[in-house]
Copies of this chain bind each other. A is one copy, B any other.
């Protein structure tokens, strides 16, 4: 008989029709009440067994972590906390879980640290916390696709292995098929990449933007959603060496359109999570409350998780130029009292995380979009403003997260772009195709990148980016 998912069973009315459920035992108390979970939902279904009717051997094997199948009928629950439960007529243990072995793992029913869970990342998804995070992650992914598809965007897969390193000089992973023990060299001592698989030097992509631009010039509105990589030695709770990024790119959009798109998009996906992950978000909200109880009052969140998400929906993102932001920061208390690690002294300074968080969390108390940054601290492809010193860049800053989106209007003028590439030492022969876009029917266009894991961090209220991706890759760690 086909099994019914626990998510579905919990929605059904009591009935005499026999049903089958399969899942993993989360608890078995009084030799009578099994809490069964199959991952379809946070909630367990209670299965009531009349122990006198079952073999002792079977009952003995119903232990935490075991996979079982139960048949029975759905009856009104006598206990509290659930509407229905299964009155079990048959139970079969499909796969045991030796309690002595379970004791050594995070499956054992007690509190485990997030560090410990990370070490057993292949099992952590069986916990309530990680089940919830990963269901939310999945729903957010779908919301992203749904948003763009509903709005006339085409999804494109930009290459992962790339022959150009225009953007990521020094921070890229090399991809090679060469024998590393005896790398072939040319007469001049350089590596002979002609012998490599692609017959040239290749790396893992840091962004699909440039290729996305080529498609926006044909399909109008496109987006990417794929993995990107940074070989940056940052061992922080905000950085991963491998992470997923969403990059929309839209022909004819200027910077204001780009900001509108980013705001509308983020609100759509956050709202989608609130509507489609109610149980999981409630659980994560309580988890966060518990976690914060051990922190000093000043470090606790001012809002509960779902209130914070609703706050984002209900408020306009504050749009502030870089120049205004510098003024605010220069005159701010932490700057005057020298509380910032990097003091803001003059226009042109690169903003640090501490400054962004001050603007978002203390000054504006809302998500902020900073725009029109100094050209000097931004990438070559950003549209130069008429003032000659700022570019049409924008960053969306979120409370607790910092930069969640970085984007810009792109330089659409052939001569200006070419000159900038020369100045910045970007070889034209490598990006001739990118310049071509400015030669054949160029137009104003814009786009941005959203780091998916940062969005998941924000929505789940987790504190460490390693806890919102199944198998995190960080310096010194590529386990599983």
Interface on A for B, CB 8 Å cutoff?
A: 3, 5, 7, 22-25, 38-40, 65-67, 69, 94-98, 101-102, 105, 107, 122-123, 125-126, 130-131, 134-135, 137-138, 141-142, 145, 149, 152, 154-164, 173-178, 180-181, 183, 185, 189-191, 197-200, 202, 204, 211, 214-215, 217-221, 226-227, 229, 231, 233, 241-242, 244, 251-252, 412, 433-434, 436-444, 469-471, 473, 475-480
Known A94-B443, A219-B134; judge A211-B480 contact (CB<8 A): yes
Q: Are B439 and A160 in contact (CB under 8 A)?
A: no
By a CB distance below 8 angstroms, the chain B residues around A102 are: 440
Q: Are A174 and B163 in contact (CB under 8 A)?
A: no
Task: Report how far A438 CA is from B134 CA in the complex, Å.
Answer: 22
By a CB distance below 8 angstroms, the chain B residues around A226 are: 226-227
Question: Which of B181, B185, B215 is A134 in contact with, Cβ under 8 Å?
Answer: B215
Min distance, Cβ A436 to any Cβ of chain B, angstroms: 6
Min distance, Cβ A125 to any Cβ of chain B, angstroms: 4
Q: Are B161 and A39 in contact (CB under 8 A)?
A: no
4 nearest A-B pairs in the assembled complex, by CB-CB distance: A95-B442, A125-B218, A39-B219, A39-B220
Min distance, Cβ A372 to any Cβ of chain B, angstroms: 22
Min distance, Cβ A405 to any Cβ of chain B, angstroms: 19
Task: Report how far A198 CA is from B471 CA in the complex, Å.
Answer: 13
Q: Are A214 and B125 in contact (CB under 8 A)?
A: yes
By a CB distance below 8 angstroms, the chain B residues around A65 are: 440-441
Task: Report how far A157 CA is from B141 CA in the complex, Å.
Answer: 10
Write the chain B residue with the least CB distance to A194.
Answer: B476
Known A22-B251, A39-B218; judge A161-B131 contact (CB<8 A): no
Min distance, Cβ A212 to any Cβ of chain B, angstroms: 9
11 further A-B contacts with Cβ under 8 Å, apart from A122-B434, A126-B217, are A5-B152, A39-B219, A40-B220, A97-B439, A122-B433, A138-B149, A177-B231, A181-B185, A183-B183, A214-B480, A226-B227
Q: Are B219 and A162 in contact (CB under 8 A)?
A: no
Instruction: Please list 13 pairs of residues, one from A and one from B, whose beta carbons are closer than 8 Å in the complex, sorted by A's number.
Output: A39-B154, A39-B219, A94-B443, A125-B215, A131-B218, A134-B219, A159-B470, A161-B242, A163-B479, A177-B231, A197-B475, A197-B476, A198-B478
Question: Which of B7, B185, B214 is A122 in contact with, Cβ under 8 Å?
Answer: B214
By a CB distance below 8 angstroms, the chain B residues around A197 are: 173, 231, 233, 241, 475-476
Number of copies: 2
Task: Report how far A473 CA is from B142 CA in the complex, Å.
Answer: 27
Task: Report how far A218 CA is from B473 CA in the complex, Å.
Answer: 21
Q: Are B162 and A478 in contact (CB under 8 A)?
A: yes
Q: Are A443 and B67 in contact (CB under 8 A)?
A: yes
Min distance, Cβ A451 to any Cβ of chain B, angstroms: 13
By a CB distance below 8 angstroms, the chain B residues around A40 are: 152, 219-221
Task: Report how far A176 CA is from B196 CA in the complex, Å.
Answer: 14
Task: Report how far A407 CA is from B176 CA in the complex, Å.
Answer: 29
Task: Report how far A197 CA is from B478 CA in the complex, Å.
Answer: 9
By a CB distance below 8 angstroms, the chain B residues around A439 are: 97-98, 101
Q: Are A437 and B122 in contact (CB under 8 A)?
A: yes
Known A181-B189, A478-B163, A480-B163; judge A25-B251 contact (CB<8 A): no
